[in-house]
Structure formats: C-alpha cells, structure tokens
Amino acid sequence: MFIETLRLPDHPDLAARVRDLADRATEIDGVAPLSEQFLLGLIDARLGHLHHVAVDEEEVLGVAAFDGSAFEMVVDPARRRAGVGAALLTSAGEADVWAHGDLPAAQALAAAFDRVPTRRLLVMAVEGEALATVASYQGRDDVYPLNLEESIAKWGRDDVEAKWLAANNDAFSWHPEQGGWDRSRLSRAQEAEWFSPRDVLFLWTPDGQMAGFHWTKWHTEVSPAFGEVYVVGLSSEFRGRGLGDPLLRVGLEHLAGKGADRVVLYVEADNEAAVKAYDHLGFDVVEAHVVYSVPQSA
C-alpha cells in the first residue's frame, strides 16, 4: 500500500471509484463519510481540494481529502482494520480531521493518535406531528416572504444576490465554512443538482431591505424524501425584533407544503441558545460530526 497525492478532478476515473467507495461506506455505516462540499471536490477543480489516495496495486483502499483547512476521510469497508485509516491520518499531518457520525472506529483511531475533539456539529430532526405543529408561518406587517425566483422577478438577480451575500456574510462572519462568501461561491452553490430557486425564502421589508433568508434543501436521494434547514441567516440590523422564529417557520412551512414529514438541520453544539431553541420546537439530536485535532502545545 502507498499514499498517492493528487487532485482527483484531474483523474475522473479514479474520482468515480472514490465516489463508489464512499457510497459503500455510507451504506455500511449509515452516515456519509464525505460531506457535500468534499464530494463536489472530487470532480470540481475550482474547489482546489487535494486528495491523499491509499492504493494497493490497482485497488483504491481509501482517501483523505483536504480543502485547505481540514481533512475528511473514508476507508473501503472491506479493507478496514488493516492500517489504511492510520496511514491516511498520518498523511494529514497536524491538520484537523472530520469524523462524520463520530463512529466508534473513528473515536478509537483518533485516540490512538492522541487527537482530541475540538468541534462538534449536531444534526437535529423534527418529524410527524411535532413538525406539523411548528410548520406554520404567521404573517407580519413589517416583513413579508418571497422566494428567490419571485425576488429576482421583482428586483433583478444582481440586487437580490448582492443583498443575499451581505446577509449571509453578516450572519456568518464567525463561521469557517459559511462566512466570507463571494458571488462566485454563491453561483457554484446554485449549480448543485438539488438546488431550486423556489426553495430559498427571504423576508423582505416593505422598503426592499432583506431581513434574512432561509435556504431549504429537498432530499430525494432516499425514500421518502425529506427536508433540510440548509442555511438560515438573519442580518444583525434585524436581530432583537422577534424575526428568528418566523424566519425558521417560513421555511418549515414551505418544506411541509412539499410533503416533508421529516426535517433536519445542522447546528454547532456550542451554540447553546440555538440548540435550546430548536429543542423547544421539537427537534431532537440524531447524529453528530466531530473535528479531531492535534492538541496545541502549552
């Protein structure tokens, strides 16, 4: 076995084999080992991801993908417990590594390398009657909802997307993945196969200010399909006005209207206020994703 370092978008056949490997791991583990952006990084050179591929002759054993700040890893289920994960983790050096699902095997491997958890991303879900209860938007006089398609028809794409970016970067100035977006990044996000302009909801003021946005996602890769609170952002200028709850509900109502009986969202575990608010609305923690880091020297 050896580790080959390359950029998989330059090797589409190999990228396809890695994607198949990731799909097999998802089926076995019940959780996807590579996030959406890292799956895109297998084929989209614009993302600039670097890939450490574990190879034994012609067989792909696993991969560690790097986006410039952290790694995500997957090992072929048929080749586990053979040192592949250890070799890939060694190749990551001191960079952070995600463990999606934080499965026992990932915990054990991290412990063997003296890595410690430094970030915890929770997946929370609401379904059935609990979803039906919260999926109701009550109108207000100070704001009104329009989706992206409707907003562009009213104000034009340039104006809407400029305000969308401003709201996003204001709301997520602290966030390592969602903050600091530019027009190119927003355009790439809208290239996703699942993207629909009708699934992005905004709250507008009567004078044309964007108070916030609720970007929803409709998952059809499983049956029955389900919804996701993909990104919710409220501009700082509009905080403290009681708009967070209606902004969430307008998206939940939209997803329920599409037939969702289950909706999930991702939230940082240390955002205690948000976790508490979602819990109050009936969301339960169903999964966790953890970043393991090399301890910093004193």
Of the pLDDT bands very low, low, confident and very high (cuts 50, 70, 90), residue 298 is: low
Q: Which of 293, 289, 292, 240 is nearest to 268 (CA)?
A: 289
Residue 194 lies in a domain: yes
Domain co-membership, 227 together with 156: yes
Domain co-membership, 134 together with 230: yes
Residue 35 lies in a domain: yes
φ/ψ of residue 99, rounded to 5:
-125, 100
In order of 231, 270, 290, the CA distances from 273 in angstroms are 17, 9, 20
Q: 234, exposed or middle or buried, with CB in 10 Å at 0-12, 13-18, 19+? A: buried
Domain count across the chain? 2
**pLDDT for residue 287 is more than 80:** yes
Domain co-membership, 64 together with 207: no
Residue 119 lies in a domain: no
| Domain's final residue, options 81, 113, 145 | 113
Domain co-membership, 230 together with 95: no
In order of 50, 133, 137, 177, the CA distances from 246 in angstroms are 41, 13, 6, 25
Mean pLDDT of 170-190: 89
Distance between CA atoms of residues 179 and 168, nearest Å? 7
Domain co-membership, 10 together with 136: no
CATH code for the domain of 285: 3.40.630.30
Residue 298 lies in a domain: no
Residue 134 lies in a domain: yes
In order of 130, 163, 260, the CA distances from 134 in angstroms are 7, 28, 13
pLDDT of residue 222: 86
Which pTM was predicted?
Answer: 0.91
Domain co-membership, 194 together with 72: no
Distance between CA atoms of residues 274 and 290, nearest Å? 18
pLDDT of residue 29: 96
Residue 84 lies in a domain: yes
Domain co-membership, 51 together with 85: yes
Give the structural domain span for 32.
Answer: 2-113
Q: pLDDT tens digit string along 260-286?
A: 999 999 999 999 988 999 999 999 999
Q: pLDDT tens digit string along 9-66?
A: 999 999 999 999 999 999 999 999 999 999 999 999 999 999 999 999 889 999 999 9
Domain co-membership, 47 together with 173: no
Domain co-membership, 135 together with 248: yes
Mean pLDDT in the chain?
A: 95
The DSSP annotation for the chain comes to -EEEEE-GGG-HHHHHHHHHHHHHHHHHHSS-SS-HHHHHTTT-GGG--EEEEEEETTEEEEEEEE-SSEEEEEE-GGGTTSSHHHHHHHHTTTSEEEEET--HHHHHHHHHTT-EEEEEEEEEEEEHHHHHHH--PPP-SS-EEEEHHHHHHHH-HHHHHHHHHHHHHHHTTT-TTTSS--HHHHHHHTTSTT--GGGEEEEE-TTS-EEEEEEEEEE-SSSS-EEEEEEEEE-GGGTTSS-HHHHHHHHHHHHHHTT-SEEEEEEETT-HHHHHHHHHTT-EEEEEEEEEEPPPP-
Residue 251 lies in a domain: yes
Domain co-membership, 207 together with 94: no
| Domain's final residue, options 80, 113, 146 | 113
Distance between CA atoms of residues 50 and 276, nearest Å? 37
Pairing between strand 116-127 and 70-75? Answer: unpaired
Residue 275 lies in a domain: yes
Domain co-membership, 37 together with 74: yes
| Domain's final residue, options 113, 139, 155 | 113
Of the pLDDT bands very low, low, confident and very high (cuts 50, 70, 90), residue 221 is: confident
Do the beta carbons of residue 96 and residue 118 sit within 8 Å?
Answer: yes
Domain co-membership, 137 together with 254: yes
- Is omega for the bond preceding 197 within 30 degrees of 0, making it cis? no
| Look-up of token digits 């969202």 | 265
